[in-house]
């Protein structure tokens, strides 16, 4: 009997002593509680792939985030040269914000794999894809990367439509709120303020571009499709025959003839496209060439769209 009683006590002790993993977790939780109370509130470390999503994150996150942008605003976002600092930034990030829709498919995945940061892996809480919050244009019926088409999952340049910027800003506020609940109200308030300011600016931009509704525009890459659609301008053609494909001489001859026939007066292109090709098409077709940014040059999304609106307006205004 005595033996049985000892055995029973041992069984009881084993049953009611938490396993080491649970004890350790409890200790960490208590430590975290102890540290969280007196410490100053740390800003979230955010890494953004491009300056458009960075500008929105800065607007929504304010001083509650510190933001590193990987691609330079003048770089082609499809083909970004990875610098050694990228891995360091990614390894420390609480949140990685990307455009998505394959925009960064050519350069971001190996960097994330090598950064050894579980927080920002695909599907983790610290990963945000802007493309998931907008309606993409030109989604192909079948996936086709033949000839190197870099828009095989739809057009990823959706932040050129200011309405999409409001959608992404609000979604970003929810993401930041989830990662930093203590600042949730501040994130949401800043997103709401941005949306309201943007509404006012959109009305003004619309007024300024109304006289040019239906005007034909040629671009180099399919970069400005969302901008043109937002302001009721028509994409007549592109200098690249397909996204990411160099134009042939015969393509340029056909395009120039089409531009003359359709009286296209504007070539809109980002600054990093081959200037000689663009000026030659402009000279041969009689259209004006406007080189507008594809990405904000600073943290100011509104100034970025303003620059494009001003460029288009000045080119299409009758002399
Ligand atoms: Zn593109």
CATH label of the domain that carries residue 97: 3.40.50.1980
For ligand 1, the distance from its centroid to the CA atom of residue 243, given in whole angstroms, is: 6
Q: What is the pLDDT of residue 10?
A: 43
pLDDT (mean) for 176-192:
98
The closest of 128, 134, 189 to 161, measured between CA atoms, is: 134
Q: Are residue 115 and residue 243 in the same domain, yes or no? A: no
**Buried/exposed 152-185: b ≥16 CB within 10 Å, e otherwise:** bbbbbbbbbbbebbbbbbbbbbbbbbebbeebee
pLDDT of residue 70: 98
Which residue among 202, 231, 255 closes a domain? Answer: 202
In a domain, 22, yes or no: no
Other beta carbons within 10 angstroms of residue 262's beta carbon come to: 14
6-15, 83-92, 127-136, 186-195: segment of lowest average pLDDT: 6-15
If asked whether residues 214 and 143 sit together in one domain, one would say no
Q: What is the largest CA-CA distance in the chain?
A: 109
Mean pLDDT of 172-180: 98
pLDDT at 40: 63
Q: What's the pLDDT at 306?
A: 98
Confidence category of residue 243, pLDDT binned at 50, 70, 90: confident
Label each residue of the chain as H, E or C. Answer: CHHHHHHHHHHHHHHHCCCHHHHHHHHHHHHHHHHHCCCCCCCEEEEECCHHHHHHHHHHHHHHEEEEECCCCCCCCCCCCCCHHHHHHHHHCCEEEECCCCCCCCCHHHHHHHHCCHHHCCCCCCEEEHHHHCCCECCCCCCCCHHHCCCECEECCHHHCHHHHHHHHHHHHHHHHHHCHHHHHHHHHHHHHHHHHHHHHHHHHHHHHHHHCCCEEEECCCCCHHHHHHCCCEEEEECCCCCCCCCCHHHHHHHHHHHHHCCCCEEEECCCCCHHHHHHHHHHHCCEEEECCCCCCCCCHHHHHHHHHHHHHHHHCCC
pLDDT at residue 36, rounded to an integer:
41
CA of 141 to the centre of ligand 1 (A): 18
Considering just the CA atoms, what is the radius of gyration of the chain in Å? 26
Full domain range(s) for residue 114: 44-202
Centroid of ligand 1 to alpha carbon of 199 (angstroms):
26
CA of 151 to the centre of ligand 1 (A): 6
Of 114, 118, 138, which is closest to residue 235 (Cα–Cα)?
138
Number of domains in the chain: 2
Together in a domain, 65 and 132: yes
Last residue of a domain, one of 202, 234, 260: 202
Domain end point (choices 140, 171, 202): 202
Q: Are residues 187 and 208 in the same domain?
A: no
Say if 21 falls within a structural domain.
Answer: no
Gap from CA of 104 to ligand 1 centroid (Å): 10
Decide if 7 is inside a domain. no
Same domain? 249 vs 165: no
pLDDT in tens, 149-169: 788 889 999 999 999 999 999
Of 103 and 25, which is predicted with more confidence? 103
- pLDDT at residue 87 above 70? yes
- Is position 143 within any domain? yes
- pLDDT category of residue 32 using cuts at 50, 70 and 90: very low
Same domain membership, residue 217 and residue 195: no
Residue that wins the pLDDT comparison between 78 and 20:
78
One domain, residues 294 and 220: yes
Say whether both 210 and 124 belong to one domain: no
Q: To the nearest whole number, what is the mean pLDDT of the chain?
A: 89
Q: How far is the CA of 279 from the centre of ligand 1 (A)?
A: 21
Q: Which of 17-26, 89-98, 226-235 has the lowest mean pLDDT?
A: 17-26
Please say if the pLDDT value at position 31 is more than 50: no
Average pLDDT over every residue of 28-44: 56
- Cα distance between residue 237 and residue 318, in whole Å: 22
Gap from CA of 157 to ligand 1 centroid (Å): 6
The answer to whether residues 62 and 173 belong to one domain is yes
Kindly indicate the confidence band of residue 145, based on its pLDDT and cuts at 50, 70 and 90.
Answer: low
Shared domain for 167 and 73, answered yes or no, is yes
Domain identity same for 119 and 180 = yes
Kindly state whether residues 168 and 153 are assigned to the same domain.
yes
51 alpha carbon to ligand 1 midpoint, in Å? Answer: 15
At residue 20, the pLDDT reads 46
The pTM score is 0.85
pLDDT band at 143 (very low <50, low <70, confident <90, very high): low
């Amino acid at each position: 009997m005595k033996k049985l009683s000892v055995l029973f006590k041992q069984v009881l002790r084993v049953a009611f002593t938490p396993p080491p993993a649970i004890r350790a977790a409890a200790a960490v939780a208590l430590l975290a509680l102890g540290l969280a109370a007196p410490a100053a509130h740390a800003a979230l470390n955010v890494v953004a792939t491009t300056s458009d999503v960075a500008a929105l994150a800065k607007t929504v996150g304010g001083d509650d985030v510190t933001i590193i942008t990987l691609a330079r605003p003048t770089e082609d976002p499809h083909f970004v040269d990875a610098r050694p600092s990228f891995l360091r930034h990614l390894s420390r990030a609480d949140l990685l914000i990307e455009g998505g829709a394959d925009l960064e498919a050519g350069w971001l995945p190996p960097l994330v794999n090598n950064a050894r940061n579980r927080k920002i892996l695909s599907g983790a809480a610290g990963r945000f894809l802007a493309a998931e919050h907008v309606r993409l244009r030109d989604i192909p019926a079948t996936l086709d990367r033949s000839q190197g088409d870099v828009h095989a999952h739809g057009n990823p340049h959706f932040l050129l439509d200011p309405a999409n910027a409001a959608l992404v800003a609000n979604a970003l506020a929810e993401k930041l709120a989830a990662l930093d609940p203590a600042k949730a109200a501040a994130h949401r308030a800043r997103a709401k303020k941005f949306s309201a300011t943007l509404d006012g600016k959109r009305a003004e931009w619309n007024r300024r571009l109304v006289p040019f509704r239906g005007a034909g525009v040629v671009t180099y890459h399919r970069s400005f499709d969302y901008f043109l659609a937002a302001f009721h301008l028509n994409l007549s053609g592109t200098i690249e025959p397909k996204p990411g494909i160099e134009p042939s001489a015969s393509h340029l001859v056909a395009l120039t003839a089409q531009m003359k026939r359709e009286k296209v007066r504007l070539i809109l292109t980002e600054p990093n496209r081959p200037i000689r090709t663009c000026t030659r098409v402009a000279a041969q077709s009689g259209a004006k060439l406007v080189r507008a940014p594809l990405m904000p040059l600073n943290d100011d999304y509104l100034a970025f769209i303003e620059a494009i609106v001003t460029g288009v307006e000045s080119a299409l205004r009758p002399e």
